[in-house]
Amino acid sequence: MTAKPRPGRYLVRALRPWWRLTRGLTIGAQGVVIDERADVLLVRHGYRPGWFFPGGGVERGESIKTALARELAEETGVAITAPAKLHGIFSNGENFPGDHIAVFIVRAWEQPETPPPNMEIAEQGFFPREDLPRGTDAGARRRLAEIFDGADLSEMW
């Protein structure tokens, strides 16, 4: 089955040149949310194919940790209940020149409510590392190998 193009995808593509002109460097925060079985939370966006860690951009005047907490709550309903551990900061220049992603490991959390699917987040779910959904982002797979399997830390997404 072929996925239908989503209207949001076109908007993101249309705005990228503007972002590149107005922002020399962008930073995002993503959370590797791990449950008691060591399954990881992934999201599927409505505007691009694949599965990713939840997260998003850091807004002007916002700390990376505040952005992480906000994005997790907005996208998945996850509330961080103890400090998340910084895993690393990765260059995402292949996807978006000047972009960097701060990845945090989130082991202490609660999810009092799961937001319904919307235009931004079409699906979310916890997955065993051995059975990740088809289309899981290669950078997310590398981060999981670093966190769980002791793979060398890469500076590239």
Q: Is residue 93 part of a domain?
A: yes
Q: Is residue 134 part of a domain?
A: yes
Q: Is residue 157 part of a domain?
A: no
Q: Is residue 40 part of a domain?
A: yes
Domain that holds residue 115: 7-149
Q: Is residue 62 part of a domain?
A: yes
Q: In whole angstroms, what is the distance from residue 133 CA to residue 6 CA? A: 20
Number of compact structural domains in the chain: 1
Q: Is residue 155 part of a domain?
A: no
Q: Which CATH number covers residue 33?
A: 3.90.79.10
Per-residue pLDDT of the chain (157 residues; tens, 9 = 90+): 444 445 566 676 677 666 666 667 889 999 999 999 999 999 999 999 999 999 999 998 999 999 999 999 999 999 999 999 999 999 987 777 788 999 999 999 999 999 999 999 999 999 999 999 999 999 999 999 999 999 999 999 9
Beta bridge partners of 51: 44, 136
pLDDT at 98: 84
